[in-house]
Amino acid sequence: QFLYFIGSLRRMSASGADGAAAASASPACASPTGEGPKPLEHSNDNLVKFNTFDAYSTAAQCKKTIGKGVAPAADAAPGTPEAISAALRGLVRAGKNPKKPTIFMAFDTAANRDAAAALITANVKTRGKFWTLEQVTDRDLDLTHKAGKKERAGTQVGDGAEQGPSVAPWMHLAYAEQLRRKAAHCVGILKTINKTSCIRDGALRTGAMLSGVIASPQRVAYRNNILFTCGVDGDGTPCVGFQAGQSVAGKHDVLPADGIPTVHPIALAVRDSFMANVFAKHADALPMYKKGEQKGFWRKLHVRHNKDAEVMLDIEVNPTGVSDELLAAAKAHLQSWAAGFAASVPAAEWDTPDDSATDVAGVAALATEVPAPSATARFVSLQWHLYEGLSTAPTETPRETLFGGPALVQKLFHLEFDLSPGAFFQVNRLGCERLLSRVATECELRRESTILLDLCCGTGTIGLCLSDKVQRVIGVEMVAAAVENAKVNAARNNVTNAEFVCGRVEHALMDVLSKLPKDADVVAILDPPRCGVHADVLRWLRNCKTVRRLVYISCDQRALETDCEPLCKASTLKCHELPFRVCGSFGVDLFPQTPHVEMVVTLRRTTMEELDAYAAENAARRQRVEAEAQQQPARPQPAAE
């Protein structure tokens, strides 16, 4: 780097101040081999690398520093968006490792790259040191362009004809084979949990603790929630479907959703009608959003429906560069389209369990319901929201209702739930009913005494469905909108023994537990997101004597393995109460045609008698092993030469 810096000074003195910026910035984007930029799909051609002399700042903080430094040159107030825009005109992306002083910036054109390099190196400094340009190496290009990285684990199943699209990678596998693989996966999880438990269980070690994987009653077209991406396919043709690859790999093409077995015909009908009656009318003025270029209007279509073929559609649009008049015209057109929308949808395809599915070891197949007749799908809610960001819009982004009401009514058992566009609800309704029926049995609930803790409760689905089997339900959820939905759902279904607390579980749980009677009969249901729960939640559940039973519902079993360790390990200073031990487990296939499975593990509080008996058994085992070792004849020693 020092030699390159000396070379830059020599070039600057040779070519003069006017060409210094271009002479310094252009080599920064070239391969050190002299063969020019590395030919990659992503926009690394106009990549520049600065040394900020600050190893702990983030990309966002660096942008603010740039805005302060270039303000006098840009004739703008320090740190304002105008100052930042003046220095970073044409910026495509910026990235910085917060543990290193270098920041990478990619621009749309070489002219904007050179202009930004000249302005920043002349005006921006950290602790008295002006930022400097550094050479972009081939390794830097590989780091900033992630197409060479391996694909996300679990998106593919095998080789050849067995592979399917990432949204349904097991679509070519027989359903019995899907269940067999999911059962084997659950057995492996139980074996891992057994290794960290203070009481080793032979049933866990052999997988006998798994009672089975409950088959989904509906194996195709089961999703009641589909998020379509708007964009263009490989030929540049407008398309609404699923993104063909990962954005970090530079793959932004959108492929149609036809032929995907998990997609319901209602979602396809909404998509087709939108393309023909909405997009086609405004194709020139309001094009599809191109994620790679960050230009366009229509971004996403979020389609949800219920068993009565009532549809809620939430549209995400990018208002950048769109006039108010054009936005108003688009809204008016959407309103008229929604009012007249009526799509005849055939009955969903149903599979009856065959012998091959029920004969699989460790797999339980349930009888299916009678197929619902064909229906006419109609809108009960059409909303849209504006979003100009690069990633996914936050769940709490304000929506504007264009047609109908703000929610969709979804039925589960005999209850009805109001769902807003961002509210969580299982995509497989019939499979969810099977799940909750089995959970109710695993919990061993007592109507007259049990207090049910529904942790990470969302809109209250689990707690409300089990409310008639317990004395009291307490739900804890961090999303305020979901808590309000839960309260509305409780009132809608005349549930009076349920209350819901808004707050992070790790912050609210201690207060909730402290208010419970010391002799309370508490059962906890933990249904966390994929990342699992905070360690404090597990520690407080472990140290609360009144929690006699815990049911963990896991959609990502990596978190389940991690979270079971503090619950089941031997007592420590932090986890001083008696440990839990696994007493039951089963899986539910909520996601046919994919490798995902919903796994439920039931844990109960151990007793001192069990721990003493296990310790005595271990001591006796060690004595037997030592005695057998002593009884074995000594090995003859080799004769000395």
Q: What is the CATH number of the domain that holds 469?
A: 3.40.50.150
Q: CA 89, CA 84: separation in Å to the nearest integer?
A: 8
Residue 111, CA distances (Å) to 9, 45, 74 in order: 21, 12, 17
pLDDT at 641: 58
CATH number at 392 reads 2.40.50.1070
Number of domains in the chain: 3
132 inside domain: yes
User: Please, what sign has the CA dihedral across residues 499, 502, 507, 511?
Assistant: negative
**Per-residue pLDDT reduced to its tens digit, 470-524:** 999 999 998 888 898 899 999 999 999 999 999 988 888 888 988 888 888 999 9
pLDDT at 78: 63
| Burial class for 259, CB neighbours closer than 10 Å (0-12, 13-18, 19+) | exposed
Identify whether residues 434 and 558 lie together within a single domain: yes
| DSSP strands (E only) in 442-588 | 450-455, 472-477, 498-502, 521-526, 547-554, 580-588
pLDDT at 46: 83
Give the domain range for residue 124: 2-147
404 inside domain: yes
465 is catalytic: no
Half-sphere exposure of 238 (CA within 13 A, CB side): 20
11 inside domain: yes
CA 23 vs. chain centroid, Å, equals 44
Identify whether residues 409 and 439 lie together within a single domain: no
Angle between helices 557-568 and 175-195 (to 10 degrees): 30
Identify whether residues 240 and 212 lie together within a single domain: no
212 token code pair: 């089975």
Where does 288-364 have alpha helices with state H?
324-340, 355-358
129 inside domain: yes
Q: CA 39, CA 236: separation in Å to the nearest integer?
A: 21
| Burial class for 115, CB neighbours closer than 10 Å (0-12, 13-18, 19+) | buried
Q: CA 146, CA 212: separation in Å to the nearest integer?
A: 40
Identify whether residues 582 and 504 lie together within a single domain: yes
Bridging pattern class, strands 125-126 and 298-305: unpaired
134 inside domain: yes
Identify whether residues 232 and 350 lie together within a single domain: yes
| DSSP strands (E only) in 398-520 | 400-404, 408-412, 415-419, 450-455, 472-477, 498-502
Identify whether residues 309 and 392 lie together within a single domain: yes
pLDDT at 636: 67
List the one residue out of 193, 257, 200, 197 whose CA is nearest residue 223. 257
List the one residue out of 403, 341, 413, 343 whose CA is nearest residue 374. 343
pLDDT at 206: 65
Identify whether residues 393 and 442 lie together within a single domain: no
Which of 125, 147, 169 marks a domain boundary? 147
Angle between helices 265-277 and 324-340 (to 10 degrees): 130
Identify whether residues 183 and 233 lie together within a single domain: no
Identify whether residues 465 and 598 lie together within a single domain: yes
Q: CA 303, CA 198: separation in Å to the nearest integer?
A: 47
Identify whether residues 51 and 133 lie together within a single domain: yes
Residue type, 8: S
Identify whether residues 104 and 208 lie together within a single domain: no
The DSSP secondary-structure symbol of 550 reads E
**Helices and strands counted in the chain (H then E):** 19, 25
pLDDT at 266: 93
Q: Are 460 and 423 within 8 A, CB to CB?
A: no
pTM value is: 0.69
Q: Are 275 and 267 within 8 A, CB to CB?
A: no
* Residues in the chain with pLDDT values less than 50: 5, 9, 12-43, 146-163, 349-371
537 inside domain: yes
pLDDT at 100: 86
Indicate which residue of 29, 230, 239, 555 is catalytic.
555
Identify whether residues 209 and 242 lie together within a single domain: no
pLDDT at 185: 94
Binding residues for S-adenosyl-L-methionine: 426, 477, 527
**Per-residue pLDDT reduced to its tens digit, 314-362:** 999 999 999 999 999 999 999 999 999 988 876 654 333 433 333 333 3
